[in-house]
Amino acid sequence: MREPLIKKIEFITAEDLNWEPIILHPCYGGLNSPFGFVPVPTVAPVMIEVCKVVTVKGVDQKDIYVPVKASETFDFAAKFQAFPLTRAVADQLFIRASKPLKFRAQNPSIKPKTADPRQDPVFMKTLGEKLADFEEQSAYLRDKNYSGVDDFGAHKLWILSNYKVENACRPMKDEKARAACLAKDDGAVNYGFYKEKQAGDKSIGVPFLSSYKPKNNLMQDRGGAHDAGHWDYSQLLQANAQKIHEMRAFYAEKIKSNGGKVTDVLSIWTHYVVKIGDEVKQPSDPLETDLERARDLGVPIIETSEPDARL
C-alpha cells in the first residue's frame, strides 16, 4: 500500500507544500572569564523555510503520513529544490515548538524469547508487522492534527549528516578499507522521536539537546544501522529550503519598477526593512524596527517613496 502513496508524492510540487519561515538562532562558542563561561555567537541568525510533514490522501480521503526511505527523502528534497533537515534544524524546531507532540512508538506486544531478539522468528515477524503499520501511526498523528512544525517532536527524519563517514569510515587506518567504506556510504542516518521539553525553554545553540536543557532528549540519536532502502512507520518526509533569497530578489525588482531603490547588500540570512518616507515598516522582519539597529546588524534597508500595499 505504501508504493501507491509514494507515487502521489511524486505529483506534489514545492508550491503545493506548506512552508513555514523559521529563524535558526546563533550557534554559540564561548570564552572562559573570571566571571565564568561567556557565550559568544559564532554565526548570525539564519532564516529558512521548513515544510510541514508531507501527507497524502488515502482511499477514504483521510490524511496518510507516508513513511519514506532515505533515498526517497534525498530524491524528493532535490525535486523540491530543498534539503533534508539536519540535526541542528530538527533540534531547534523542537526547542521552538509551542506544543510539541509526544512520539508514539509501536512496539510488539510480545517479548523475545532469546537473548538476541533476531534469533526469535515469531518476535521478529511481529516486530516487522508493527514497523510496517504506518496506518496505525497515521491515525494517531491525524487525531492530533500533527504538522511537524509548531508541534514538532513525534516523528523521525532521514537527516543530512556525515555521521556514517565520521564514525565508521574515517577512524579506519587501512586506506583501502577506508576508501571502500566511503564508497559504500549511502548517507542513511535517522534521527528523532523527541522525549521531553522543559516548559518555557527558549534555549538556543548547537545541535546537542543536552547543551540546551537536561530534560530535553530524544529516543533516536543519529543512527546508521539502516541502509538507504529501509523504511518504517516512524521516518516521515520533511524538508527545508533557502527560498528567502529568491523572494527578496523578486520584491527588490518590484520596488525598483515602482520608482524605489534598494540600498545595502541583500542578504539571505534575514528579512529586510522597508522605509517609506519617514515611516518604518518591516514585513515579517524578525530582528529590529529601528533603522539604526538594522544597519548595525547588516539588515538590508529598502527605500521607496510611496507605500505599496502589495508588499
Which domain covers residue 24, as residue numbers?
2-241
**Do both 107 and 140 map to the same domain?**
yes
User: Beta strands 239-241 and 46-51: pairing type?
Assistant: antiparallel
**Do both 182 and 257 map to the same domain?**
no
**Do both 100 and 213 map to the same domain?**
yes
**Do both 296 and 262 map to the same domain?**
yes
Residue 299 lies in a domain: yes
**Do both 36 and 123 map to the same domain?**
yes
Amino acid letter for position 149: V
**Do both 96 and 167 map to the same domain?**
yes
Residue 141 lies in a domain: yes
- Count up the domains in the chain and report the number: 2
pLDDT: which is higher, 206 or 221: 221
Distance CA 23, CA 49 (A): 8
**Do both 172 and 285 map to the same domain?**
no
Domain end (from 216, 241, 266): 241
Distance CA 117, CA 114 (A): 6
Lowest mean pLDDT among 20-29, 102-111, 184-193: 20-29
Task: Write the pLDDT tens digit of every residue in 155-180.
Answer: 999 998 888 877 777 778 888 888 88
pLDDT of amino acid 132: 94
**Do both 189 and 157 map to the same domain?**
yes
Residue 310 lies in a domain: no
Lowest mean pLDDT among 7-21, 190-204, 278-292: 278-292
**Do both 38 and 166 map to the same domain?**
yes
**Do both 31 and 163 map to the same domain?**
yes
pLDDT of amino acid 278: 45
Distance CA 282, CA 272 (A): 7
**Do both 150 and 273 map to the same domain?**
no
pLDDT of amino acid 126: 94
pLDDT of amino acid 21: 86
User: What is the rounded average pLDDT for all residues in the chain?
Assistant: 76
